[in-house]
């Protein structure tokens, strides 16, 4: 073997190696940002939903309050109209005594028609108050019963008396027409109405 051959190194065997690419680190910052955005969005949506619920609740409460107030106003008006019908009947003895003396036939027709309308109105309110409240209806019925008795006798006497022809006679004293027996029953009816309305009035409106 020559020295040249001895100087040539033998080939080094090569091995196939797999190159390992390190994986990218997790995007911690991106995930945190997305999570925070989701939390904020959820909070916003929850706040909006809560605000909508509160607004709806307030609107419903206001609507019910308005409806209750309107109902109470309606009842106050109706009970007042019932008392007005009583007052109209109560005034009839005075109207009959103050009738015109120059047209007696016309006055009889006029006053009789007025009394008929009042009687019809009283009948309506007697039924209505009883339907609305048993207590108020009973108080009103007792009042009207005494009204028809007391004012009815006064009307009978007024028709038998001559029509007033002087200004001074227009002032009719209690000795001529005495309806004082109605006052306690009027008070009882008003008290019954007040108590009934009180039970229907919400605590926040009293």
pLDDT, tens digit (0-9, with 9 covering 90-100), for 57-81: 666 555 555 577 888 899 999 999 9
More confident residue, 204 or 3: 204
CA separation, residue 195 to residues 54, 131, 143, 192 (Å): 34, 16, 17, 5
Backbone angles phi, psi at 17, to 5 degrees: -120, 140
- Is the confidence at residue 20, as pLDDT, over 70? no
* pLDDT number for residue 21: 47
Question: 136 is written with which tokens?
Answer: 């108020």
* pLDDT number for residue 18: 47
- Is the confidence at residue 100, as pLDDT, over 50? yes
What is the tens place of the pLDDT at every residue in 185-194? 999 999 999 9
Stated length of the chain = 206
pTM above 0.75, yes or no: no
- Distance of alpha carbon 191 from alpha carbon 185, whole angstroms: 10
CB 72, CB 200: distance < 8 Å: yes
Of 60, 128, 48, 116, nearest to 88 by C-alpha is 116
Q: What are the b/e assignments for 39-58, b being 16+ CB within 10 Å?
A: eeeeeeeeeeeeeeeeeeee
* pLDDT number for residue 165: 85
Backbone angles phi, psi at 179, to 5 degrees: -115, 25
Query: What average pLDDT score do residues 144-158 get?
Result: 97
What is the tens place of the pLDDT at every residue in 102-136? 999 999 999 999 999 999 999 999 999 999 999 99
CA separation, residue 72 to residues 1, 20, 66, 196 (Å): 131, 86, 10, 10
- Distance of alpha carbon 86 from alpha carbon 82, whole angstroms: 7
* pLDDT number for residue 54: 66
């Amino acid at each position: 073997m020559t020295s040249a051959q001895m100087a040539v190194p033998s080939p080094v065997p090569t091995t196939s190696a797999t190159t390992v690419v390190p994986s990218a680190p997790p995007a911690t910052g991106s995930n945190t940002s997305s999570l925070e955005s989701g939390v904020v969005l959820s909070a916003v949506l929850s706040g909006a939903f809560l605000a909508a619920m509160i607004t709806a609740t307030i609107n419903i409460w206001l609507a019910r309050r308005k409806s209750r107030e309107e109902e109470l106003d309606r009842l106050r008006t109706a009970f007042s109209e019932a008392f007005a019908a009583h007052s109209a009947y109560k005034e009839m003895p005075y109207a009959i005594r103050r009738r015109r003396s120059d047209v007696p036939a016309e006055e009889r027709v006029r006053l009789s028609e007025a009394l008929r309308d009042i009687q019809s109105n009283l009948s309506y309110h007697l039924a209505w108050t009883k339907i609305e409240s048993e207590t108020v209806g009973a108080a009103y019925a007792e009042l009207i019963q005494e009204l028809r008795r007391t004012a009815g006798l006064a009307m009978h006497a007024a028709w038998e008396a001559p029509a007033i022809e002087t200004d001074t006679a227009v002032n009719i004293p209690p000795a001529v027409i005495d309806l004082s027996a109605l006052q306690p029953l009027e008070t009882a009816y008003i008290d019954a109405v007040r108590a009934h309305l009180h039970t229907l009035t919400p605590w926040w409106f009293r």
